[in-house]
Structure 1
Amino acid sequence: MDEKKIRKKLEQRLARSGRKLHYDREKENLRVENDATGKGVDIALSPLVAKWHERKEQAIDEVVYYVEEALQVMGRHQSIAGQEKKIYPVIRSTSFPKETGEGVSFLTDDHTAETRIYYALDLGSTYRLLDEDLLKKEGLTAQKVREIARFNVRSLPVDMKKDTVRENVFYFLNTNDGYDASRILNEKFLQEKAETIEGDMIVAVPHQDVLIIGDIRNPTGYDILAELTMSFFTSGKVPITALSFTYEDGKLEPIFILAQDQKRKNEREKE
Structure 2
Amino acid sequence: MKMDSKRMRDLLIERCQAPDRTISFDREKDTLRIEDSDTKKGVTIELPRLVGKWEVEGDAAIEEMVYYVNEALREMVSTLSLDGKEQHVYPVIRSTSFPKESKEGVSFVTDEHTAETRIYYAVDLGNTYRLVDEQTLQKYGWTKDRIREIARFHVRSLPTEMKSDEVAGNVFYFLNTNDGYDASRILNDRWLSELKKDMQGEMAVAVPHQDVCIICDIRNQTGYDILAQMTMKFFAEGRVPITALSFLYEDGELEPIFILGKQKSKE
Query: TM (normalized to structure 1)?
Result: 0.89
Q: CA 1:208–1:263 in 2, change beyond 3 Å: closer, same or farther?
A: closer
Match of 1:233 in 2: 235
- Could you say what secondary structure the match of 1:227 adopts? helix
Q: Which deviates the most, 24-33 or 61-70?
A: 24-33
Task: Please show how residues 10-159 of structure 1 align to structure 2 within 5 Å.
Answer: 10-25=12-27, 27-159=29-161
Contact 2:101 2:107 in 1 (8 A): yes
Deviation at 1:88, TM superposition (A): 0.5
Structure 1 CA distance, aligned partners of 2:225 and 2:185?
A: 24
1:201 aligned to which of 203, 216, 219: 203
Deviation at 1:263, TM superposition (A): 5.5
Structure 2 CA distance, aligned partners of 1:31 and 1:184?
A: 31
What residue identity is the alignment partner of 1:168? N
Q: CA 1:30–1:247 in 2, change beyond 3 Å: closer, same or farther?
A: same
What residue identity is the alignment partner of 2:15? R
Deviation at 1:205, TM superposition (A): 0.9
Contact 1:180 1:209 in 2 (8 A): yes
Contact 1:38 1:102 in 2 (8 A): no
Contact 1:41 1:101 in 2 (8 A): no
Contact 2:203 2:249 in 1 (8 A): yes
- Could you say what secondary structure the match of 2:247 adopts? strand
Aligned pairs, number: 263
What residue identity is the alignment partner of 2:23? L
Q: Does 1:262 align with 2:263?
A: yes
Contact 1:89 1:119 in 2 (8 A): yes
What residue identity is the alignment partner of 2:69? V
Structure 2 CA distance, aligned partners of 1:8 and 1:52?
A: 15
1:216-252 superposed Cα distances (whole Å, 9 cap, x missing partner): 1111212222232233223333222222111112211
Contact 1:180 1:210 in 2 (8 A): yes
What stretches of structure 1 of length at least 5 have no aligned partner?
265-271
Q: CA 1:227–1:66 in 2, change beyond 3 Å: closer, same or farther?
A: same
- Counting aligned pairs with the same residue, the percent is 63
CA RMSD of aligned residues (A): 2.0
What residue identity is the alignment partner of 1:93? S
Match of 1:268 in 2: none
- Could you say what secondary structure the match of 1:175 adopts? coil
Structure 2 CA distance, aligned partners of 1:57 and 1:97?
A: 30
Query: TM (normalized to structure 2)?
Result: 0.90
Contact 1:40 1:101 in 2 (8 A): no
Q: CA 1:65–1:130 in 2, change beyond 3 Å: closer, same or farther?
A: same
Contact 1:94 1:116 in 2 (8 A): yes
2:223 aligned to which of 221, 224, 234: 221
Match of 1:175 in 2: 177
Contact 1:181 1:209 in 2 (8 A): yes
Match of 1:269 in 2: none
Q: CA 1:263–1:92 in 2, change beyond 3 Å: closer, same or farther?
A: closer
Structure 1 CA distance, aligned partners of 2:133 and 2:29?
A: 23
What stretches of structure 2 of length at least 5 have no aligned partner?
none
